[in-house]
Structure 1
Amino acid sequence: MSTITAPRGLAGVVVTDTALGDVRGREGFYHYRQYSAVDLAQTRSFEDVWYLMVHGALPDAAQSAAFTARTAELRRLPAEVREVLPALARAGSGPLAGLRTALSLLGAAGGFRPVYDIDADRRTADALAACAAVPTLLTALHRLGRGLDLVEPRDDLSCAANYLYMLTGSEPDPVKARAVEQYLVSTVDHGFNASTFTARVIASTGADVAACLVGAVGALSGPLHGGAPSRALDTLDAIAVPDRIDPWIREKVLAGERIMGFGHPVYRTEDPRSRMLRGIAQQFGGPLVDFAVQVEERVEAILAELKPGRELHTNVEFYAGVVMELCGLPREMFTPTFCAARVVGWSANILEQAADSKIIRPAARYVGPPAPQPVPDAGRG
């Protein structure tokens, strides 16, 4: 079999076909199915976009109501899963790490079977059950880890409002719930990023939906993938005051350090998610937003001066951190909140991959010592 040499990280390599969406980095545009993701975030509910990713079309009013009711019923956790959550929370490794174990148990308790062995309807049912449970699991692990009681989900609230309710235990503010919902919609899917590709690789083996999602969560937990929203806010904290913006940024850039919240491996223009979230933040207003906008302007100016031709702009994490802070989410829940949205995209990719029985099995170039060599005798004392 002939081999093809690919660039490091598979950058720019097309590995399969997908009908789920695309990221057009040079245009600063991305879409879910045939619709602009930003347009969807501005006009539709999270449940409608979830339906779109699973079924391939936006729901009408009756379909939306039925889908919302169905997924709301799936938010409650099986007893077998609830029983282990306190122990997972006490482990102290955080909600995202606890989610890996909880998802495995959820799959076992729910009777998830390998996608290779079940039909499309059962695959979809397993995916919906897992997606609906993830926000409940994440908020429960967060609260239990802080000595707080678990807050039961409510069927009368939207996904976003229910998420805020389970996280805080308080009636969600509609404006904040809508802002969080727009963030969730904007991060449902984004091409073949590391976690999405991981989910598809596992799905190509025919493994069950829970196994695929556990792998995706593991990939997301890496700081190079899912850990930047809180770190972008840490940048604002470190700068602290306007007079420190320029010297702080220049020092970091000249030292070769990365400015968190800026630059993206795909976009060569402004990240459309950042543009939308900046608008949401500005609707809230206040000192944090004003300072973030000021920092953004100066960082881009200094990067253009010191790194000409690089086209480094804010990415989704910069204003995502600002919006989530304004909506009252604790910083340690920024990446888990991203996960609560992205699980829908992962699941859609799992379902799409499950329809293809070809296992993903690339090759590697061996660069170690020449082989075969004689095996030396074991030393005798």
Structure 2
Amino acid sequence: MSINRAAATRIEVPRGLAGVVVTDTRIGDVRGTEGFYHYRQYSAVELAQTRGFEDVWHLLAYGELPDAEQGAAFAAETAALRRLPDEVRAALPAVAAMATASGTSGALSGSSSGPLSGMRTALSLLGAAKGFRPVYDIDTDARRRDTLVASAAVPTLLTALYRLGQGLDPVEPREDLSYAANYLYMLTGSEPDKQQARAIEQYLISTIDHGFNASTFTARVIASTGADVAACLVGAVGALSGPLHGGAPSRALDTLDAIGTPDRIDPWIRERVLAGDRIMGFGHAIYRTEDPRSRMLREVAQQFGGPRVEFAVEVERQVEAILAELKPGRELHTNVEFYAGLVMELCGLPREMFTPTFAAARVVGWSANVVEQAEDSKIIRPVARYVGVGAPVAVPLMS
């Protein structure tokens, strides 16, 4: 009697690997019952409130916050990596044309919008042009260097793809601007004011990393095969492009638009909750309290003020009250997407760039996870339970 040793050691886990610990990490954690998450040993929200994007990038890449001299050097180093290789720049018009054409068949406000779709191809081109080698074949310094090259180029790729899709020329990056300010500059062609640049910077910092979400885990699975950094990041972008992962910021604004006026909040929300519809921007897979990112971004939005912000705050108040009434016992609060979309709108970003902007932040978190995963030579290789027709069945003869 033969023994299937693999079957004998199988461990049954929940669908979607919910709650399953698959590895150790030094990058950060999400403590959902507390409404808290952190990068390394620091509160992510506190970092967003007190530090610049480059400082937090340094923390994720090197494991420590830089002092003033280190921070300036790192900012200069990464700013110098923003320009694209000539062969990549030459290919972007064709990439943008294909990505824009594919995006017209769906909702441009969703996560499958042209720039994010095009970034998958553009990152592959960048990796080839820069000669990225498999992480299995290089040391930690070289792996980190490749992630810095890729992360610095992502805003340039995204904004160029967007502008080309709009029939506009790309705007070349400036090394004298911060990561966030340069991103807005390349997107609009105008240098942003300080409030807008800082608001986007705080949003970017707040979304750099967030546990083993689908895109981060995808990047780590690919890194475990020893593939190059570009391959890991392309896979992560592919996971992010799914509407269940990266598409909600614009959809939360769509909800505000659909409600329209304060007197319509109660009937509009009740109708959809009773119909079993999901209210975009509310609820989270991990948090059982208010999402700390939402709380911070609400404060950022309120610094701008105005009727749009006041309306959003009132929608939040009434929706949470209605959800508490109709779904008692469930903690359903605003998640990061609700106020993220509002902040990006206040800073002049078009809705089709909401999820790509998220990617411009998350690429730093993906990169840190790729470098960490590459330290482990064990490939991630789970198994599946076969539930098809019993085997073996004799192969029928040709008649």
Q: Same fold (TM over 0.5)?
A: yes
Deviation at 1:276, TM superposition (A): 0.1
Give the corresponding residue for 2:221.
201
TM-score, scaled to structure 1? 0.99
Q: Helix, strand or coil for the counterpart of 1:31?
A: strand
Give the corresponding residue for 1:146.
166
1:110 matched to 2:141? The reply is no
Unaligned runs of 5+ in 2: 1-5, 104-113
1:68 matched to 2:81? The reply is no
Distance in structure 1 (CA, Å) of the matches to 2:396 and 2:271? 53
Give the corresponding residue for 2:3.
none
**Which stretches of structure 1, 4 residues or more, deviate above 3 A after TM superposition?**
none
- 5 Å matches for 1:266-345? 266-345=286-365
Give the corresponding residue for 1:10.
17
Specify which of 119, 125, 128 is matched with residue 99 of structure 1. Answer: 119
Give the corresponding residue for 2:188.
168
Give the corresponding residue for 1:82.
89
1:257 matched to 2:277? The reply is yes
Distance in structure 1 (CA, Å) of the matches to 2:118 and 2:219? 18
Give the corresponding residue for 1:46.
53
Unaligned runs of 5+ in 1: none
1:240 matched to 2:260? The reply is yes
Deviation at 1:89, TM superposition (A): 1.0
Q: Helix, strand or coil for the counterpart of 1:22?
A: strand
Deviation at 1:378, TM superposition (A): 2.7
Identity of counterpart residues, as a percentage?
A: 80
Specify which of 197, 210, 219 is matched with residue 230 of structure 2. Answer: 210
Specify which of 224, 227, 247 is matched with residue 247 of structure 2. Answer: 227
State the aligned residue count: 379
Deviations 1:279-331 (A, max 9, x none): 00011000110000010011101111111111000000000000000000000
Give the corresponding residue for 1:362.
382
1:129 matched to 2:149? The reply is yes
Deviation at 1:243, TM superposition (A): 1.1
Deviation at 1:377, TM superposition (A): 2.0
Distance in structure 2 (CA, Å) of the matches to 1:372 and 1:257? 44
1:25 matched to 2:32? The reply is yes
* Equivalent position amino acid for 1:187 in 2: T
Give the corresponding residue for 2:107.
none
Distance in structure 2 (CA, Å) of the matches to 1:176 and 1:46? 14
Aligned-residue RMSD, C-alpha: 0.6
Q: Helix, strand or coil for the counterpart of 2:245?
A: coil
1:37 matched to 2:44? The reply is yes
Q: Helix, strand or coil for the counterpart of 1:89?
A: helix
* Equivalent position amino acid for 1:134 in 2: V
Deviation at 1:124, TM superposition (A): 0.7
Deviations 1:215-241 (A, max 9, x none): 000000000000000000000000001
Give the corresponding residue for 1:186.
206
Distance in structure 2 (CA, Å) of the matches to 1:178 and 1:16? 35
Q: Helix, strand or coil for the counterpart of 2:11?
A: coil
* Equivalent position amino acid for 1:226 in 2: G
Q: Helix, strand or coil for the counterpart of 1:5?
A: coil
Distance in structure 1 (CA, Å) of the matches to 2:178 and 2:329? 44
Distance in structure 2 (CA, Å) of the matches to 1:175 and 1:15? 40
Q: Helix, strand or coil for the counterpart of 1:137?
A: helix
* Equivalent position amino acid for 1:87 in 2: A
Deviation at 1:172, TM superposition (A): 1.0
Specify which of 369, 372, 384 is matched with residue 349 of structure 1. Answer: 369
Distance in structure 2 (CA, Å) of the matches to 1:183 and 1:344? 14
Distance in structure 2 (CA, Å) of the matches to 1:236 and 1:77? 38
Distance in structure 1 (CA, Å) of the matches to 2:336 and 2:80? 31
TM-score, scaled to structure 2? 0.94
Distance in structure 2 (CA, Å) of the matches to 1:155 and 1:202? 32
